[in-house]
Amino acid sequence: MADCAAGVDVILAAGACHKLWLRCYFAGCRAVGVRDRHSLLSDAALPEFPFDFPDTQAGQQQSAQEGAECQSRFLRRPPAKRPNFELLGVHSPHTPDWSSGLS
């Protein structure tokens, strides 16, 4: 699985990636997208930036973005179908509370 984590990261504009993707494929490279790479590294229990580094600014932005998406999905559900997190004792249901000071 360490072989999957080896390689380079290339960040391109949306229109430029198709040609590079095809060239890599026909050259025999194993090109994967960001979501696939995230899945592979998560399955291999390997850390990935910024997802596994909440103490960095990029990690905090990623966490805030995921929390906002989670909360918007939560608010789209009818109120009668939403879990009552306050009653369940869940203090931070959409984003992890890194300030709790657990050590």
pLDDT in tens, 25-70: 888 887 777 788 888 888 888 887 777 787 888 878 888 888 899 9
CA-to-CA separations, 62 to 32, 39, 54, 59, 69, in angstroms, rounded: 20, 16, 8, 5, 11
Give long-range contacts, CB 8 A cutoff, 24+ apart: 51-56.
Answer: 54/96, 54/98, 55/98
Closest CA to 67 of 92, 98, 101: 92
pLDDT attached to residue 39: 84
User: Does residue 103 surpass a pLDDT of 70?
Assistant: no
Q: pTM (2 decimals)?
A: 0.54
